Amino acid sequence: MRAQHVLDQGSEVGDAQRDRGLGDRGAGVRTSKVRCAPGRRSRPVVTAAVIAAPGYDDAAVTGHDPRRARTPSPYAGANPDGTDDPHVRTRVAPLLGVLLVLALLGGGLVWFAASRGFTTEDLWEIVDPPPPEACSEPDPTTATALDPGPPPTGCLTPSAARLLDAATDRFGEPGPDSGIRAVTCWSEHAWNPSSDHPAGRACDFFPAAYGAFPVGADLDDGWALANWARDNAAELRVRYVIWQGRIWYRGTGDTGTGRDGWGRPYTGGGVYDADDATGGHFDHVHISLRP
């Protein structure tokens, strides 16, 4: 009777489980067999029953909550289950090396440019050149004693106009008693289509008489002007300077020491006679500006 009573309890539990529609999804009913007297058949007996009903808390029973997510790894290359992926580390290391090399190359380029007199703005202009400056300012040097004619009709770029003003402030108004005797900027220069004069971005400063080879104080005045333009090339936007049969490009050095090694030899570019006082730029300092 005792065995039958326990069996009935097991049946009631099983019926309740089926009534709730849990089937195999529940924790199920664990059973064992009751040993009976010899000759009698053993019957299953319910020893424990756990039913997954609403509100069931597995953590309270087993001490483990399968719904709790595993804490993810803070490492960027973690697998979905939160473990680190060593293959990602292998791929990230070369990338970091490449970035380091690029940073070193960029720093070296900036240092080299600075040593040559280039600024960060100059580098950006090389990467992304701005549109050329328009020849929009009036040129007060168009009609001079060297080129008599009608009232001024030429033009200058804004940078050329600033160069002319800065040179006047530094060396005084052009005249016979000034460090600059005469200045001429805009010119058609029909014999030299590549000249910067027709674009209004070049000026010629004469420390001596036109066509003469300067000596003494006139020569010194010319060198003072040429070196001033070179020393202030970044601010004045100077591209190159020609003087005394020598040419200096911004960003380049000298071929020697002293005046004889200033810049490099000027050959006339196939247009001018480099041995002539004017063709070789002995009687004037030519200053060209960036577009």
> In sequence order, what are the residues at sequence separation of 6 or more whose Cβ sits closer than 8 angstroms to the Cβ of residue 262?
226, 243, 244, 246, 248, 254, 256
Residue scoring higher pLDDT (165 or 251): 165
- Looking at residue 97, its pLDDT comes to 78
DSSP annotation of 232:
T
What pLDDT does 100 receive? 79
With tokens 């008489």, the residue in question is 209
Residue pair 51/26 in contact (Cβ under 8 Å)? The answer is yes
What's the rounded Cα separation, in Å, for the pair 3 and 112?
A: 99
Assess contact for 196 and 289: CB atoms under 8 A.
Answer: yes
Of these ranges, 12-16, 45-49, 69-73, 142-146, the one predicted with the greatest mean pLDDT is 142-146
pLDDT, tens only, 68-120: 555 555 544 555 555 555 665 667 777 777 887 877 776 766 655 555 556 66
What residues does 57 pair with on adjacent strands? none
Report, as an integer, the average pLDDT of 172-176. Answer: 93
What residue ranges do the domains of the chain occupy? 2-62, 89-127, 137-289
User: What is the predicted pLDDT for the residue at 83?
Assistant: 55
Listed residue (205, 207, 209, 187) closest to 197, CA to CA:
187
More confident residue, 201 or 193: 201
Answer yes or no: is pLDDT of 179 > 80: yes
**Percent of the chain beyond pLDDT 70?**
58
Tens of pLDDT along 213-250? 999 999 999 999 999 999 999 999 999 999 999 999 99
